[in-house]
Amino acid sequence: MKTKNIIRTIRTATLAVAVSAMATSCDDFLSIEPLSDIVLEKFWTNEADVTSVMNACYTQLESADCIQRMIVWGELRSDNMTTGSGISNDMNQILKENLLETNNLTDWQSFYKVINSCNTVLHYAPSVNELDPNFTDSELKATIAEATTLRALCYFYLIRTFRDVPYVTTPSIDDTQNYRVAPIKFDALLDSLIASVELVKDDAVRSYGEDAIENTAKITRWAAYTLLADMYLWKGEYQRCIDYCDLVIKEKQRQYEIEHEENATTTTLELYGDIPLIAESPSGTTVSGNTYNEIFGTGNSFESIFELTFMNNQTVTNSTISSLYGSSSVTEGRITAPTYLFSEAYSGNNKYFSKTDCRYLENMAESSSRVAIQKYVIEELSFRPSTTSGGAPRVTTTRRNTNYANWIIYRLSDVLLMKAEAEVELAGNVEGLAEMTEEQDNHYRRAFACVSAVWKRANNKRTATTDTLIYDDYANSRITMEDLVFDERQREFLFEGKRWYDLVRLSRRDNSNTRMVSKVLSKFEQNVAAIRIKLASQDALFFPYYKNELDANPYLEQNAAYVTDDTSARQ
């Protein structure tokens, strides 16, 4: 595979005619038009053509529409977000749990555009392999693995958001194809996605080069393994989830050993147990913020597995962050954080964050009567964490003055906490037992070790003697251990588009929305009873189908939680 200047290639070498042909919308639910005869006859002839369209897949996933939906679908309804300054009506209605099929943010066409591009690569790449001897069999297999994994990721976003969605694996080539198809049930489609990635995972590229940016901006074998771990977690096949998490963790441990051997005096990586992570305050320093600076400020860090990468002076930008979270000139974005997440953390009286936890200072800041989101908005920061009660620590920040913040899909701490969750579920219930079995204890201890590594890093806890996170405080029940994992996921992944999906997964597993509702209601001060009723059913976990898609596709039937007289009449 060609790796030189890989990011610049993604930005500039995408063939304009291919992008135009695949990205133009039409009236059907996929909102795509067929490739022109000119493209079919003259385009797919050599390796560069395959590379151009594969790169177009990433460019389309980096669109403002896609990233905005990753945030809105995966976070907005959760207990992490509330109204900011100048919020759009569509977002405001979602925050109020007034979800309607006319809300433009339920439009899924941007993700189906990426899917169609992936389908196009999968359809034409084999023929290019026959025409161009430079496009080798191994490169063909790697490309198929890359496109298949990226397509599965897009569908994974869709099913977690809408539950049942149309599943199409062929590209839009001509006007005779019928893309008005019935949606596939969540579980069946999840099985298909898993099977598709399982077939190709070991053909994916291990490494595109020596630099982290080369290996985190595109799909690698480790990204495929991480996606499989996530999908198995949702499927409830917990040992398979753990197996894939362990493969990724082992690879990061291998990379750490190389880094520590070659750069022992300059590396900011430290071991937390046997897990290598970027230190908040590297050894020998007292100032924190290094973890944030490397992961979110600079981006493409050691811990990254797959992130959408934006480079200065390139045409593709990430305007979504400056619009929703804030910018160099706008302290408070259209979305802010609920006050309960931030208030009194510095004095030790916050439910979620200890006063030594660096993440509340890195991710949030007080702004008039609201709590502004800082994650991704800040390019660099530093502070000395609180150790005593009193005022909040002073955080020195440099706000990002360009729209080139990366967007992280998967990073190492996600893998650790997926593994922790799977270990807890494998252990099962210990309530009522006189003594847990050795196997249960081992599962719980492995889960706790993963959580502890993430927590220790965030709290600058390097030695066991200073730990305030104690295993025996949590090992008395499955619910307590689950809450430990989910609370740590909330702290670690604030505003990264994951929290609502975590709550959906928890509710599906419980077959009850009770725990989810109790968490989400913590951000509401008005209409609490009405919102509790709206969120009571399992159907309400998912978004409604967009009105335009319902009108175009007779096989779509609106989610029962959002059926009105108008939708009933249409059906």
The model's pLDDT over 503-539, given as tens digits with 9 standing for 90+, comes to 999 999 999 999 999 999 999 988 999 999 999 999 9
CA 538 to each of CA 250, 414, 500, 508: distance values in angstroms, whole numbers, following the listed order: 37, 25, 14, 8
* pLDDT computed for residue 393 by the predictor: 85
Per the model's pLDDT, the better-predicted residue between 392 and 543 turns out to be 543
**CB neighbours of residue 320 within 10 Å:** 23
List of long-range contacts for 252-259, beta carbons under 8 Å, 24+ apart:
252/276, 252/302, 252/303, 252/412, 255/302, 256/302, 259/302
* Contact (CB, 8 A) for 502 and 486: yes
* pLDDT computed for residue 178 by the predictor: 66
Tokens 């979800």 sit on residue: 99
Q: State the DSSP code for 298.
A: I
Phi then psi dihedrals of residue 287, to 5 deg: -95, 135
Q: Name the band, by pLDDT with cuts 50, 70 and 90, for residue 448.
A: very high
Per the model's pLDDT, the better-predicted residue between 24 and 143 turns out to be 143
CATH architecture of 1-205+514-571: Alpha Horseshoe (1.25)
Element housing 367 (H / E) = strand 364-367
Give the residue extent of every domain in the chain. Answer: 1-205+514-571, 322-393
Q: Name the band, by pLDDT with cuts 50, 70 and 90, for residue 3.
A: very low
pLDDT in tens, 385-443: 765 556 678 899 999 999 999 999 999 999 999 999 999 999 998 887 778 999 999 99
Mean pLDDT of 191-216: 94
Nearest one of 538, 506, 509, 530 to 519, comparing CA atoms: 506
* pLDDT computed for residue 286 by the predictor: 86
Mean pLDDT of 378-390: 79
318 φψ region: left (φ > 0), alpha (ψ -120 to 50), beta (else): beta
Q: Name the band, by pLDDT with cuts 50, 70 and 90, for residue 64.
A: very high
Residue 371 neighbours by CB under 8 Å, 6+ apart: 336, 337, 338, 339, 341, 342, 343, 364, 365
Q: Name the band, by pLDDT with cuts 50, 70 and 90, for residue 308.
A: very high
Per the model's pLDDT, the better-predicted residue between 263 and 388 turns out to be 263
Please state the pTM of the whole predicted model. 0.93
